[in-house]
Structure 1
Amino acid sequence: MAKWGEGDPRWIVEERADATNVNNWHWTERDVTGWSSDKIKALLLGVQVTGEQGVCEVTAVDSMEGEASINNRKGKLIFFYEWHIKATWTGTTKSGIKYKGTIEVPNLSDENDMDDLDISIALGKDEPKTPLADLMKKEGEKKVRLALGSYVGLLKTEFSQGMILPTVNGMPSQKQTQETPPKIKMDMTQSASSTSVSSSTTGVKIPTCKFKLKDSFLTSPEELYRCFVNQEMVRAFTHSDALVENYRGGKFRLLDGNVSGEFVDLVPDEMIGMKWRFKTWPTEHYASVTLTLRDKDDETELILDVRGVPTNEEERTKEGWQRYYLAAIKMTFGYGSRLL
């Protein structure tokens, strides 16, 4: 037993009349079951795959049984989560015929690596055979795994703040570190781009990546520029309410608040720079997005450069831009052209 006034400062309680758990050094627990349920549903409902057969997407999360919590013991964060998930996917052929199927994940838990996760995808009981089932089993399973990996990563960043408090000198000790998010096997494209590291406001570093997309639109740079900065045009192609303050430092929010950010640079008809984020990303973490417009005779070439995307959000972010921005603008305003 150390003498009064000596020893580990985390045990010193004489300066506090209530003898509170100083710096959360003793066992501290936070229940995140409700947050986890909402987050998993949001991430799964964003899963979509497209192929020659048609489009498949997760359309409902039917049941979620389980719990999740974060614990701090002597400056170390411990994450507990265990979920049994059942969901529904819907496939639509290019001719408009719809099929339904099921998704079951019985063992999403801290005891299993994401690569060992059991994901069962099947066609509905009374549904006739369709190539869409193979598409969902092959590509859809990858997207479901990435979505659930994103949940675990967010669990270990968004809810770590406040679980470990500063020590007597105002800085966390070396032991007060957080477990890293689970590693997910990636293809060569993902691993090649996942090289940079960014930090969220919680002080926890998260792995990030970058990607580029090119597309062409049958319109002028002036008109395409307006699609991104004109509030009414944004509302039109997103089919929802939107806030767009089209000046440097202006905010934007669209798709029911699922996407938000700030314009950091605007060069009319030529370039748009912005801080951009999904609502589900770690608090205050933004990607850097640059849109470059180039006049190509009768069409406009758009170059999209995105940096600082959380690694486990790469495919979802890329698909989001392709589906909710590029394809939506073409369909709404008739600017359709070939993908480069």
Structure 2
Amino acid sequence: MAKWGEGDPRWIVEERPDATNVNNWHWYDKTFNLHVLVFLLVSCKVKEVEKCEGEAMANNRKGKLIFFYEWNIVLKWVSNKKSDKKIEGKINIPNLSEENDISEVDIEITLEDSTDEGEAVKHFLHTKGKEFIRDKLKKYVSSLKEEFTVGMILPKKDNVKENISNITSGFNAKMQMNSTIVSSNNKKELGCKISTTTIKQQQKFQCRAEEFYNVFTTIEMVQAFTKGPVKLELKKGGKFELFGGNIHGDFMDITPTKIVQKWRCKQWPDGHYSDVTIDICEKNDHTEVNLTQVGVPVSEEESTKENWERYYWDAIKRTFGFGYFM
């Protein structure tokens, strides 16, 4: 890999008649629209897709496939059962994404007009219908990861077959997508100044301060909200590693009211760390958490903000039921 700030021949797209992505080095993306989910249930059918908002994407970088999908779907259903009054309603699927297992995806069933016959159909959809819908969603995700990625992994120059088992998602993938290619040379590069900025965020959690502190300092709880293995040495100077090694650093100070970390993303320029301070303050009816992160590369500011929101704060609230404040 080239040194920081220098060119690299792998970044030069050669003029090739076959347009081959040589050695799978360059980004190669495919974007997919979620087509209409048309399926029949025992006593009713979907007659219309009222809403289908979101996106799905498969990326290939250096031979690794990375998947994202996030959909908000509203379907209109109607009963096939003969009745004096039409029995119809809606199916709301607000959180189909790679963050959630299919079994955790919310499926809300509503009924247009409440009647005895209508309530019976709604009850059926709540039981057998949800299982059927989840089965269809599983097939969609499977198609995204298999059928739609055909041709995204291309042969390497040495004809070595690529093992496509390393499929990542979430924070790991986000960090790779928003990263900058940096030097693998461990020696400190001279004459390279990085423009940095400071991030500040405030969050409120419906829990005691001690409970929030435990979330950040108990291996089992960190594994729960990050959804993966972690390394955690809970002491001053101790090391931590989260999200498959994409986030790592050292504890500079750790008390029940303040956690200070020397924090970096794996894809940042070699040797560059930011300083993260998390202040934990218990109020009358909630705990207030203030994050200050000094030394974030300017090019990574927005993605770092989004990742704190999505993969720390929201994940903690969802996992432990600490609630949301509007």
Matched, 1:90 2:90: no
Question: Which sections of structure 1, spanning at least 5 residues, go unmatched?
Answer: 1-27, 46-52, 66-86, 101-145, 163-199
Judge conservation of contact 2:27–2:61 (CA < 8 Å) in 1. no
Distance change (3 Å), C-alpha of 1:276 and 1:55:
farther
Task: Tell me the secondary structure at the aligned position of residue 284 of structure 1.
Answer: coil
CA distance in 2, matches of 1:214, 1:243: 26
CA distance in 2, matches of 1:278, 1:243: 15
Q: Which of 291, 298, 301 is the equivalent residue of 2:278?
A: 291
CA distance in 2, matches of 1:287, 1:55: 36
Distance change (3 Å), C-alpha of 1:298 and 1:316:
same
Superposition pairs of residues 154-193 of structure 1, within 5 angstroms: 154-155=180-181, 157-158=182-183
CA offsets per residue over residues 106-142 of structure 1, 9 Å max, x none?
xxxxxxxxxxxxxxxxxxxxxxxxxxxxxxxxxxxxx
RMSD between aligned residues: 4.2
Matched, 1:227 2:215: yes
Task: Tell me the secondary structure at the aligned position of residue 272 of structure 1.
Answer: strand
Distance change (3 Å), C-alpha of 1:149 and 1:64:
closer
Q: Which of 204, 219, 231 is the equivalent residue of 1:216?
A: 204
Q: Which of 274, 299, 302 is the equivalent residue of 1:315?
A: 302
Distance change (3 Å), C-alpha of 1:205 and 1:213:
same
Judge conservation of contact 1:39–1:280 (CA < 8 Å) in 2. no
Task: Tell me the secondary structure at the aligned position of residue 317 of structure 2.
Answer: helix
Could you say which residue in structure 2 is the equivalent of 1:59?
A: 57
Distance change (3 Å), C-alpha of 1:96 and 1:232:
same
Matched, 1:246 2:244: no
Judge conservation of contact 1:90–1:98 (CA < 8 Å) in 2. no
* TM-score of the pair, normalised by structure 1: 0.49
Give percent identity, aligned residues only. 33
Could you say which residue in structure 2 is the equivalent of 1:14?
A: none
User: How many Å apart are 1:90 and its aligned residue?
Assistant: 3.4
CA distance in 1, matches of 2:178, 2:94: 31
Matched, 1:257 2:245: yes
User: How many Å apart are 1:286 and its aligned residue?
Assistant: 1.2
CA distance in 1, matches of 2:23, 2:305: 24
Judge conservation of contact 2:277–2:293 (CA < 8 Å) in 1. yes
Judge conservation of contact 2:26–2:62 (CA < 8 Å) in 1. no
User: How many Å apart are 1:227 and its aligned residue?
Assistant: 0.7
Superposition pairs of residues 15-26 of structure 1, within 5 angstroms: none
Could you say which residue in structure 1 is the equivalent of 2:268?
A: 281
User: How many Å apart are 1:270 and its aligned residue?
Assistant: 0.4
User: How many Å apart are 1:37 and its aligned residue?
Assistant: 5.8
Distance change (3 Å), C-alpha of 1:215 and 1:282:
same
Amino acid at match of 2:228: S
Task: Tell me the secondary structure at the aligned position of residue 246 of structure 1.
Answer: coil
CA distance in 2, matches of 1:278, 1:55: 31
Distance change (3 Å), C-alpha of 1:147 and 1:40:
farther
Count, aligned residues: 197
Judge conservation of contact 2:175–2:267 (CA < 8 Å) in 1. no
